[in-house]
């Protein structure tokens, strides 16, 4: 006997295992060295018959030697006659041999060997696994899904196995197997069709169930949002000043919500706007002190484009700041994730992904130079992930385009900037009206003296006296502004206005030096601010939930196939064009019939891979609606039917269709037309 290195190593390992088991006194099942005789075959067959009806407890009571005999017999049976091994015997065999590498069925990778051993296998056809065909998926319907069909298919498979077993036994006996082969072929074809249709219906049913679950979850989220919003609104209404009582303020807050200003950018925007308004207010007072006129804008001031650019540079989104809001924490707790992750997902869904769907973004992505140096190393998924990360990092660069751009984001920013400018101009007009009742004659005379002194000194800012005069003028401006604000604060307090109640309460607590009352008022003010911010975000989230629910409700409409495509160049064909096309076709046909001249391929119009006959008559489509398409199809079907069934002599050229029994069964005449679309005019 010739020993190889592998066989020697295997034999040494077996001897070592047997010696170790004998030394430890264990009785392990042995799979090698069993006698091949009739006694072993009879014992294995007897055990195999018992295993068919054996429970788990009885199987555990079997000794290791009996299990070894059963496993050896079952292994030989699976190799010689796999159809005769029952499901129970296979289950016992596979459960027991999982612990042995030699008998592990997972190591058998060849599909043919797995098929011989009755193991589950998958056939690959050019890299695409066999699954439900697209045609069966198109014909699938969720209303036709019946769970009881699974049992019927299972019984049909058992019947198929029984017929196959009869075929095997007849073939071994040398009898004719033609009937069984025919039965197996017909049963296999019908069983395959039934299984495919059942799976297609089941997948469609699962999709509908999934969308139903999503809609139910969206409705629950909407109810939770509604309840939370009602609680916050009740808190705001019962707690002193109601910020949403005034219709003007309510409209302003709704405009902010619908505009979609990011939460983390509100503080920065408000600070910048306050700085602007303070500067404009100083200009207003200075103009009244010098020329006794109100401040007016000129053409050299900031226009809408510059205002839009400056506002776009202020907008940004920080998920860390957004994660501190109560509503974000609430929904993150509902979805059992971190608030920062929830805020990041909300940002990607509402800002990043719609941005990537814009054609401007696609154009921008197409002109970016590609780096092909490490293209072989990086996979497609890592490139996609890298693009996502780059899009998040460079969000501000990609979102806001230049002033000459006419994109959707630029229009949105212009709308935001216009609304901001309108509100700012209205506020500045209201502030300018306050200074009409302020007496500033003393300050005006003092400012006039300082201006004359500046003119006498030459107005050079390098001179310290000139700078001192300018500082005095600024002090007078500040005095007038403080006097105006103090006057209107007193008027508001005497009129009982509630907008500054919180500030007055805090000032009163500071005057009384009561830290407990001061802490209570500050906490109260902080709660109000947080409630207002949460209410704004809840309204935005409500719109998101409504959009999700609407999309899932219109899923059936989205699943419908597209309308019949019509060739765009032939929406309108004039009579001269039709005559010219007909002449071209006739000349081409005569050239093709001439055997003495070289003939090039005739010019054909193809639509989606199908040759379309050139129109020989004028065509005029009034749009591409459903009614127009139906009329065109009915017209083509009528011509095809007249070609196939020419009018008889007694019909006098009239075809009313009453005597044709096939009109209702086949109204468009598709099956009677063997040449397809080429036969249509």
Locate the domains of the chain by residue range.
23-127, 568-679
pLDDT of residue 83: 82
**Residue 639: both structure tokens together:** 């011509």
**Residue 230: both structure tokens together:** 């009602």
Residue 93: enclosing H or E segment and its boundaries?
Answer: helix 87-97
Opening angle at CA 386, ends 383 and 392, nearest 5: 145
Q: In this structure, how many other beta carbons lie within 10 angstroms of the beta carbon of residue 673?
A: 18
pLDDT of residue 246: 57
Burial class (CB in 10 A: 0-12, 13-18, 19+), 238: exposed
pLDDT of residue 410: 65
**Contact assessment for residue 142 and residue 205, using Cβ atoms and an 8 Å cutoff:** yes
pLDDT tens digits for range 242-260: 444 455 555 555 444 444 4
* Cα distances (angstroms) measured from residue 27 to each of 17, 33, 57, 130, 160: 12, 15, 19, 45, 42
pLDDT of residue 16: 57
pLDDT of residue 257: 45
3-state class (DSSP) for residue 36 = coil
pLDDT of residue 482: 86
**Contact assessment for residue 424 and residue 273, using Cβ atoms and an 8 Å cutoff:** yes
DSSP bridge pairs for 610: 607
* Cα distances (angstroms) measured from residue 34 to each of 41, 72, 330: 11, 8, 67
Which residues, given as ranges, of the chain have pLDDT below 50? 1-2, 19-20, 22-35, 101, 127-128, 240-245, 254-264, 316-318, 376-378, 392-401, 496-499, 562-571, 622-626, 649-681
Among 255, 266, 257, 568, smallest CA distance to 418 is for 255
pLDDT of residue 266: 58
* Sign of the torsion formed by the C-alpha atoms of 511, 512, 515 and 519: negative
3-state class (DSSP) for residue 573 = strand
pLDDT of residue 17: 61
3-state class (DSSP) for residue 570 = helix
pTM: 0.30
Spatial separation of the C-alpha atoms in residues 364 and 573, rounded to whole Å: 38
């Amino acid at each position: 006997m010739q020993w190889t290195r592998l066989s020697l190593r295997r034999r040494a390992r077996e001897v070592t295992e047997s010696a170790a088991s004998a030394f430890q006194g264990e009785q392990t099942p042995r799979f090698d060295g069993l006698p091949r005789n009739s006694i072993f075959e009879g014992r294995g067959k007897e055990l195999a018959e018992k295993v068919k009806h054996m429970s788990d407890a009885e199987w555990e009571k079997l000794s290791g030697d009996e299990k070894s005999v059963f496993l050896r017999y079952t292994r030989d049976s699976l190799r010689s006659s796999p159809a005769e091994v029952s499901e129970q015997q296979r289950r016992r065999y596979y459960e027991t041999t999982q612990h042995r590498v030699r008998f592990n069925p997972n190591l058998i990778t060849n599909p043919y060997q797995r098929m011989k051993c009755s193991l589950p296998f998958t056939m690959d056809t050019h890299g695409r696994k066999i699954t439900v065909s697209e045609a069966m998926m198109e014909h699938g319907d969720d209303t036709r899904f019946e769970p009881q069909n699974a049992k019927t298919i299972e019984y049909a498979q058992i019947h198929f196995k029984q017929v196959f077993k009869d075929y095997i036994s007849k073939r071994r006996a040398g009898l004719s197997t033609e009937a069984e082969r025919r039965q197996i072929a017909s049963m296999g074809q019908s069983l395959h069709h039934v299984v495919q249709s059942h799976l297609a219906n089941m997948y469609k049913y699962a999709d509908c169930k999934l969308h139903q679950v999503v809609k139910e979850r969206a409705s629950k989220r909407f109810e939770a949002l509604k309840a939370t919003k009602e609680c916050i609104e009740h808190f705001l209404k019962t707690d002193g000043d109601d910020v949403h009582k005034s219709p003007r303020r309510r409209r302003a807050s709704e405009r902010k919500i619908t505009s979609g200003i990011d939460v983390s950018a509100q503080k920065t925007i408000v600070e910048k706007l306050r700085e602007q308004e303070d500067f404009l207010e100083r200009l207003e007072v200075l103009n009244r002190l010098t020329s006794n006129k109100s401040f007016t804008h000129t053409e050299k001031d900031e226009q809408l484009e510059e205002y839009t650019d400056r506002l776009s540079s202020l907008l940004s989104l920080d998920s860390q700041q957004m994660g501190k809001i109560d509503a974000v924490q609430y929904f993150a707790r509902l979805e059992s994730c971190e608030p920062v992750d929830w805020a990041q997902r909300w940002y990607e869904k509402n800002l990043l992904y719609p941005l990537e769907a814009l054609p401007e973004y696609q154009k921008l992505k197409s002109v970016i130079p590609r780096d092909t140096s490490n293209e072989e190393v990086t996979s497609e998924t890592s490139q996609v992930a890298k693009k996502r990360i780059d899009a998040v990092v460079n969000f501000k660069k990609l979102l806001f385009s230049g002033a000459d751009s006419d994109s959707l984001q630029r229009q949105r920013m212009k709308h935001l900037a216009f609304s901001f400018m309108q509100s700012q101009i209205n506020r500045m007009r209201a502030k300018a009206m306050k200074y009409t009742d302020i007496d500033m004659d003393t300050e005006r005379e003092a400012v006039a003296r300082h201006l004359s002194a500046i003119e006498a000194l030459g107005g050079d800012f390098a001179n310290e006296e000139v700078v001192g005069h300018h500082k005095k003028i600024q002090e007078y401006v500040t005095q007038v502004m403080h006097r105006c604000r103090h006057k209107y604060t007193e008027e508001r307090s005497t009129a009982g206005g509630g907008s500054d109640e919180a500030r007055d309460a805090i000032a009163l607590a500071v005057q009384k030096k009561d830290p407990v009352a001061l802490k209570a008022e500050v906490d109260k003010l902080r709660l109000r601010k947080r409630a207002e911010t949460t209410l704004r975000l809840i309204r935005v989230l409500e719109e998101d939930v409504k959009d999700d629910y609407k999309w899932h409700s219109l899923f059936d409409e989205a699943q419908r196939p597209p309308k019949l495509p019509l060739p765009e160049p032939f929406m309108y064909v004039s009579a001269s064009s039709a005559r010219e096309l007909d002449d071209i076709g006739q000349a081409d046909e005569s050239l093709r019939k001439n055997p003495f001249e070289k003939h090039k391929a005739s010019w054909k119009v193809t639509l989606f891979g199908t040759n379309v006959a050139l129109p020989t008559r004028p065509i005029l489509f009034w749009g591409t609606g459903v009614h127009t398409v139906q009329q065109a199809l009915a017209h083509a079907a009528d011509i095809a039917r007249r070609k196939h069934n020419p009018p008889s002599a007694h019909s006098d050229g009239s075809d009313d269709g009453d005597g044709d029994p096939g009109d209702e069964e086949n109204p468009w005449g598709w099956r009677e037309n063997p040449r397809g679309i080429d036969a249509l005019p």
